[in-house]
Amino acid sequence: MSQRDPCVIVERRGALLIVSLNRPEAKNAVDGATAAQLNAAMDLLDEDDNLFAGILTGNGGNFCTGGDLKAAARGERLSTDDRGLFGLFGRPPRKPLIAAVEGYAVGGGLEICLACDLIVASSAARMGLPEVRHSVIALGGGLFRLPRRIPYHLAMELVLSGEIRDAAFFQQHGLLNRLVEPGTALQEAVALAEGLLVNAPLALAASKAVIQRSADWTDEEAWQLQAPIAARVLKSEDRREGLAAFAEKRKPQWKGR
């Protein structure tokens, strides 16, 4: 890869944004430039009304092997002020984001998956949080997001052992949405995304927000706190379009506003 090649490649496919980590020579380890470019890609996804969902993947046969330790040793900052570590972990996009995983997704690579809403992985993928083997701690969300997604004792074993497991293990325990043939993760993620895109984009984002935020809500709080999130959807152009399309028995034309 030349010095001019981007660390993150962004491709639009209609209402879908495909974001590819592009440091194959480093197994897509994240350096300072990658974090900044990933942050910018997530901003684009959030801010463009014509984009309804995103896919995050890696070029060159691997998803991501975490932070680039050589870059960190050079003093590069692997985070941004806006979205935190990797330009993602502290504030993932408000719109649905799908991870398409081939090869290794370890350390910060697995934490990228955990920052996504859906995960499609190749059966040849390898995943885990090996930080403790290097006297490091998984500070990209893995220590609190992983035990929310799989049983506590399994998450604890993975973290404390640092073992890297195959994707079938994570499928068995509910972390993956799709387990697919090697080389087809992106293709399957696109198909999954296209199934989402028939739905209203503001409703998708609002539903995601309620699910994410409600983990700490009581039932009484939930009735109150979901209302302002839903209000934008219920007052939107897309809401009126959805009702009109239903009445007219046609496919709705969503505008994301």
Q: Where are the domains of the chain?
A: 8-196, 201-248
pLDDT for 5: 79
pLDDT for 4: 62
Answer yes or no: is pLDDT of 205 > 90: yes
Is 28 within 8 Å of 22 (Cβ atoms)?
yes
Active site residues: 111, 131
pLDDT for 1: 43
Q: Is residue 106 classed exposed, middle or buried when 0-12, 13-18 and 19+ CB atoms within 10 A define those classes?
A: buried
pTM value surpassing 0.75: yes
User: Which CATH superfamily groups domain 8-196?
Assistant: 2-enoyl-CoA Hydratase; Chain A, domain 1 (3.90.226.10)
Is 140 within 8 Å of 89 (Cβ atoms)?
yes
Q: Cite the beta strand spans of the chain per DSSP E.
A: 8-13, 16-21, 53-58, 79-80, 84-85, 97-101, 104-106, 118-122, 126-128, 164-166, 178-180
Q: By mean pLDDT, which of 1-5, 220-224, 230-234 is the weakest?
A: 1-5
Q: Which two tokens stand for residue 109?
A: 């690579």
